[in-house]
Amino acid sequence: MVCIERIYSVSALVGSGACNADCDFCAGKYLRPDAKANPNYDKNLEAAIKLCARYGGWSLSLTSSGEPTCSPKALTRALEIYTKCAKEGAYFPNVNLFTNGILLADKDYCERNLPAWKDLGLTNVAVSVHSVDRAEQARAYNLPDYPDLGDIAENVKSYGLGMRATLLLRKGGVDDATEYARSVDTLISKGIDNITSWPVGNPDGTRNEYTPSRLGTFGIRRWLHRNAKLCHGHDWGGGVYDYKGNILRITDYVTKHDPKKDFVRQLVIFQDGTVAYSWIKEGALCMK
C-alpha cells in the first residue's frame, strides 16, 4: 500500500437528481435512488474539501446524478459549505459547476442565482456539449430544442464567471479529428475558450455502444499533438494544450482508484453522504 501524496480535486453530487433532459447514455441515472437528504452529507462534504486542500487539491466540481441547476437551493448550500471551508484556509482556485446549460439560457434564472453563487466562490460554469449543431445537441438530450450556446455563454460571462465546455466524445457525434476540430473552432467563435473532452462510457470506465472508436480517439489526440502545444500532462492520462491561446484539455471519463498510486484524482461525495476515492465506490471508500 502506497501512502497518498496528493488529492487533486473534489467532485460533489448535489440536489435531488431531478433533470430537465433525458440522455440515452446518462451516467448518473444509476445514482438517483441515493439522491435523498442525508444527515452526513454536509459534514462529509466539508471534511472532503478540507482533506483535499490539505493534500494540495486545486478544484471543486459541483455536479449531480441529474441536472444540478434543477436544485438551486442544494447548489447554494454546497457553495455555502465551501465558503466556510475557504475562510478556514481550504481554498480552491477553481470551483466549477457542471451542467447541461439549459436553464442558464434563461436570463431571469441567471439573475436569481449566478450573482449569489459567484459571491459564494463559484468561478466557472462548464456546459456539456454533445454537438455544436443546435438540432443535434437537442437530439442528444432528447429535447425538441436546445438554447444557443452563444446565448448561454453571454449570460454566464455577464456575471463575471468563466465559461467552459465539456465537449463529449461520442460515437456518431464528435468521434474523430475532423469533427473535433470543427467543434472546437465553433465553440471558440461563440466565446468558449476553455474546452475539456473525454470519451463517453460506462460509470466503471468500460466502453459501451456510445464510446467512440479507439481509432477515432487516437486521431483526436494526434490532432492535438500536431495543432496545439502541450502545457502539461495529467498523472492519470491526457493533458492540457494551448490551441491559439485557448485551453484544450483531454482526459479519461473516470479514473478507477489504484491503491498502488500515490495520488487520488478526486474525492467524490455521493448524494447518500458516502465519500470515495473515485466514481466507483467498491474498493475506494474514504468515509461514510
Please check whether residue 166 is in contact with residue 196, taking contact to mean a CB–CB distance below 8 angstroms.
yes
**pLDDT attached to residue 116:** 98
Reduced to 3 states, what is the DSSP secondary structure of residue 203?
A: coil
C-beta atoms surrounding 285 within 10 Å? 12
Looking at residue 4, the DSSP 8-state letter turns out to be P
Looking at residue 273, the DSSP 8-state letter turns out to be S
**pLDDT attached to residue 268:** 93
Nearest residue to 183 via CA among 156, 222, 149: 149
* Three cell numbers, residue 15: 440536489
Homologous superfamily (CATH) for 6-287: Aldolase class I (3.20.20.70)
**pLDDT attached to residue 69:** 98
Ramachandran region, residue 243 (left: φ > 0; alpha: ψ -120 to 50; beta: rest): beta
Question: pLDDT tens string for the chain (288 positions)?
Answer: 567 889 999 999 999 999 999 998 887 777 777 777 788 999 999 999 999 999 999 999 999 999 999 999 999 999 999 999 999 999 999 999 999 999 999 999 999 999 999 999 999 999 999 999 999 999 999 999 999 999 999 999 999 999 999 999 999 999 999 999 999 999 999 999 999 999 998 877 788 999 999 999 999 999 999 999 999 988 767 899 999 999 999 987 666 677 888 888 889 999 989 998 888 777 777 877
**pLDDT attached to residue 285:** 79
* Three cell numbers, residue 185: 473552432
**pLDDT attached to residue 29:** 77
**pLDDT attached to residue 254:** 65
Paired sense of beta strands 194-199 and 246-250, if any: parallel
Domain boundaries, the chain: 6-287
**pLDDT attached to residue 255:** 64
Ramachandran region, residue 133 (left: φ > 0; alpha: ψ -120 to 50; beta: rest): beta
227: enclosing H helix or E strand:
helix 214-227
